[in-house]
Chain A
Amino acid sequence: MAESQAPTAAAGKAEPNHAVRIASIWLVLAIVADLLIYFVWQPHLPPGRMSDNARGQQFDITVMAVLCAPVLLGVWTYFGYALVNWRRRAGDTEDGPPIEGNGKVQAAWITVTSLIVLSLAAFGTYELIVPAGAGGGEGPVPIWKPSGVVTTAAWTPGSTHTLVVQAIGQQWNWTYRFPQFGGMETTGLELPINTPVEFHVTSLDVIHSFWAYQLGVKADANPGVDNVAFVKPLQLGQFVVRCNELCGIWHGAMFDYGNVVTASQFQSWATSIQTKERANGTLAALPPYATTYDPTEISQLGQAWAKLGIVGAGGYYYPGPQTGTPGDPVSP
């Protein structure tokens, strides 16, 4: 740390070498803290190890913690030492030594902090680009995609083909559409393990944010915008989906649970829903699959939901067809 090179010129004979003392205390603390963080804490750090993104984020958080702990400890050690040792004794009205600056210390500090910051930025950029956006929303045309995967019109278990899932935010629940399964719409989310998944996140009304916590996916759901995020689930189990952007009264209750299952379990779950929706006319009632939906289609969606029995946290939000279309004047 830079402060370990603080000026010693004014140190008298009897005075201990403060800089060496502070540096030694700091070094011991920093090494212990970093070892603990890396080896003991890392496996327990959020968001867990359920997907490639989650693992990447866990690693990133660990690296940040390993870098930041010495900084925190450095400042605390220094100031703790100062507060203990350099107090004004009772009856002492003298001023302290007039040190107005020290070029070397200042230069060292600026160099060290700049190096830390630049290396963090380089590290963050690498960690963002290489794992294909690291689970964050990448807008309608993602520039960083997972390599070696293909998207096909139909999805079969056991292939390396991408599963496309559209997450639709609406006040106040999530629904999911599967274009590779006839555009069917579900209220729950199941994902096959070890399969690349491509989320298309959009909204019908206000801004929501799709946050699959354990999967390490977070993408804002904007009305009229297709926001893409990638993930590859690596462990079986349950995950929670929350809305992460304030979207109105029942924002707090806008969450549900999803599951990562085996590929064959997913296949049978999806086909059974597809069959059921085809049979009861839901698929026909739904608007055709699209990356975004216009509010004029909301009435159509509303009818389909009535068939599906979808109720948002606040009850039915879109009761029926809207009375107006764009361009119509308001009737007073």
Chain B
Amino acid sequence: MAIEIEPEKAQGPSGPVHAAPGNSKPWWARPAVHTGLIGAVIGYIIGHWLGNLISPATAGVSSFSTGLSDVRNWPLVLGYVFGTIGWLAGLGVFNDLGRLMLGKPLPDAEHAPAGGVAKYFRYTLDHKVVGIQYLFGMTTYFLTGGLFAMAIRTELLSPTYHVLNASQYLMVVGEHSTMMMMMMSSVVLGPFGQFFAPLMIGSKRMAFPRIEALAFWLTPAAYVILLSGILLGGFPTGWTGYEPLATQAGPGMDTYALAFGLMGISLILAGFNLIVTYINYRAPGMRWSRLPMFVWSMFTVSFLQVLSVPVLVAGLYMMLMDRTAQTAFFTNQLGGSSYLWEDVFWFFGHPEVYILALPGFGVVSEIIPVFTRKPLFGYRVAAAGMIGVSLLSFFVWQHHLFDSGINPDMRPLFMLTTELISIPTGFIYLVAAGTFWKAKITFSVPMLFAIAMYFNFLIGGVSGVFLSDVPADVTEHGSFFVMAHFHYTIMGGLIFAFMAGIYYWLPKMLGVKMNEKLGKWHFWTMFITFNSTFLPLFALGMMGMPRRVFEYQRNLQTLNDWVSISSYLLGVSLLIFLINLIMSTLVWRVKESGNPWRSRGLEWQVSSPPPPENFERVPVVLSHPYLYGVKDAPPVADLNPPVGVVASAYASAGLEA
């Protein structure tokens, strides 16, 4: 990581030069997905060979034969690690590093992505291209995870096993949960965070476009590695990867650790770039008190990622070392501890929960002022809420371990911190309530999704209060109640916000509108089937159904069947979305170049899709983005400020000379 701390090269005073190097070569000779694949295969072969080479060595070093770990892991793990490096090398990620090591200047490829569609399949440095890559990448993740979810529900149609056998069932559960967790962490930060980070703060650039593009290109590798777990028998631990079950599991477990680890690195890199960009690249006049709420949410989430995800990466690394180099981090009899995994995992795992929640808050807070035609109520409270949530989220992780026997005397403290976090979360509702007061509400599709987000997240949040109470948690812990709780916050909160974001921002990102009628169909079917799927799960958990089981009491079958059928209908609803997305962007292509929502947001002040440089000149921000209905409110920004205004906003030694 450290080596890439090399802020993007500033232009000389002669203005940006759009040299697009290598354009003269034919398309197949330039790095893109196909050369990446070749690199991946070569890398995998090298890694596999190396793994076989050192396997006998470590088998000799291994000092304990429980049959828990097996030497086949080395070739697999090194194969994937080198395969990923080969994939990145094939994409041309390391080319600029090579140039730097030779002391050569870097080409400015950021704003001149050549080619039409081809640029989406390359290591392209333009944040707008990266945002769209993320949008389609994360949608693929989401739909794949959704198919696994329907497989789970198919198995649960009957109280004993019938379609999938026991190990297939666990494999599907593991794939579904891990894929969704990986995807949800970047589903808003990826597409909208990357696309709108500079646009919303009035910048023409990102701080580290290479790191940003690298963050995206790790996600396809993680996707393939995770799915390859199916060929290796899957992994039996779900997304939590509890030890020592993970040490006992077969080679599929390695795919979990590697895929999740790669995604973790991707999250760290993406967050790192965003923080530096937000702090340093804001346009003149874009004070902290004028930052859009979406930027606040991305900013706090990025901090959570940069600080908490390294702990996950370290934990997964320890797991891999246990499985390959035969260390004993998590083996109780050898001086390790399975509690160590639980602590390390949840120390990441709880900030992760807010990594999933905060972007949703940001999206809806951005959308409601536009469709209520009112300023955001209590702007400072909203920002304080986000900061408060992200700080507190580091101090609640033990509530996942209330019954585990770890530090039982600390439970009152963690009960308190867990309940405290509902105060800053509640601010989001205060802000919404104030904004809706005497508003002029327009029921557009994004607004409908935003309202539904508030509805769903409320249920999720209130059920979280039940879980924070230790005595009540004794019944609810690890049951379907928990599962319903976090599906309400993540799917009901984040995914509804993501949908709101797509309908709201797609005209900006691609210059085409989503079909309104299909959108409304999508909304109503999704809202109804989502609640019909997940509301009964609260009851199932309360009635004693643990998570991740394929067998349950016969008297719970009716409810389970209801849930399964609803989940199929939810799948149909998402199919409507998929049809709408594909048809709207590829076939119908209804042009939308202006500002269809009459939004004051800075990103809407430029044409749609945004010009390559985002802004013609560095804009000067003049006022708050939410001043709807304010008489004589100044425009949000001066897009063409007179020469000298920007210069006066900074003191550069070079210019004053």
Question: Footprint of B on A, CB under 8 Å?
Answer: 2-3, 6-7, 10, 18, 45-47, 53, 56-57, 60-61, 64, 68, 71-72, 75-76, 78-79, 82-83, 86-88, 92, 94-102, 105-106, 109-110, 113-114, 117-118, 120-121, 123-125, 127-129, 131, 133-140, 142-143, 205-207, 209, 211, 213, 216-220, 222-225, 227, 240, 242-253, 255, 294-295, 314, 322-324, 326-332
Contacts and interface: CB of A to CB of B under 8 A. Distances in A.
Interface in B26-73: 56, 59-60, 62-67
Given A64-B465, A223-B244, A136 B381 contact: no
B240 interface: yes
21 contacts: A18-B437, A57-B475, A61-B466, A76-B458, A86-B441, A96-B439, A98-B629, A99-B377, A105-B434, A110-B427, A124-B468, A125-B416, A137-B405, A207-B245, A222-B338, A248-B248, A255-B551, A329-B60, A329-B63, A330-B59, A330-B62
A246 B440 contact: no
Contacts of A213: 475, 544
Contacts of B60: 329-330, 332
Given A83-B451, A110-B423, A250 B166 contact: yes
Interface residues of B, number: 104
A66 B362 CA distance: 31
A117 B419 contact: yes
A95 B56 contact: no
Interface stretch (B201-209, B368-376, B578-586): B368-376
B407 interface: yes
Given A87-B441, A217-B474, A223-B244, A246 B373 contact: no
Contacts of B238: 246
Contacts of B161: 252
Nearest to B420: A117
Interface of B: 56, 59-60, 62-67, 161, 166-167, 169-170, 236-238, 240, 242-245, 248, 332-334, 338-339, 372-381, 402-409, 411-412, 415-416, 419-420, 422-423, 426-427, 429-430, 432-434, 436-443, 451, 454-455, 458-459, 462, 465-466, 468-475, 477-479, 542-544, 546-551, 553, 626-631
A223 B238 CA distance: 19
Given A87-B442, A248-B248, 13 more contacts: A57-B474, A79-B455, A83-B436, A83-B441, A86-B441, A113-B426, A124-B470, A128-B412, A128-B415, A143-B409, A205-B244, A242-B546, A330-B60
Given A99-B375, A329-B62, A75 B458 contact: yes
Contacts of B243: 206-207
B477 A244 contact: yes
Nearest to B454: A79
Nearest to A254: B549
Nearest to B170: A249
Nearest to B332: A224
Contacts of A76: 455, 458
Given A326-B63, A326-B333, A72 B458 contact: yes
A323 B437 CA distance: 73
B411 A245 contact: no
Nearest to B66: A295
Contact of B474 (A64, A135, A251, A330): A135
Contacts of A75: 429, 433, 454, 458
Contact of A86 (B333, B409, B436): B436
B655 to A, nearest CB: 37
A202 B426 CA distance: 40
A134 B474 contact: yes
B423 A64 contact: no
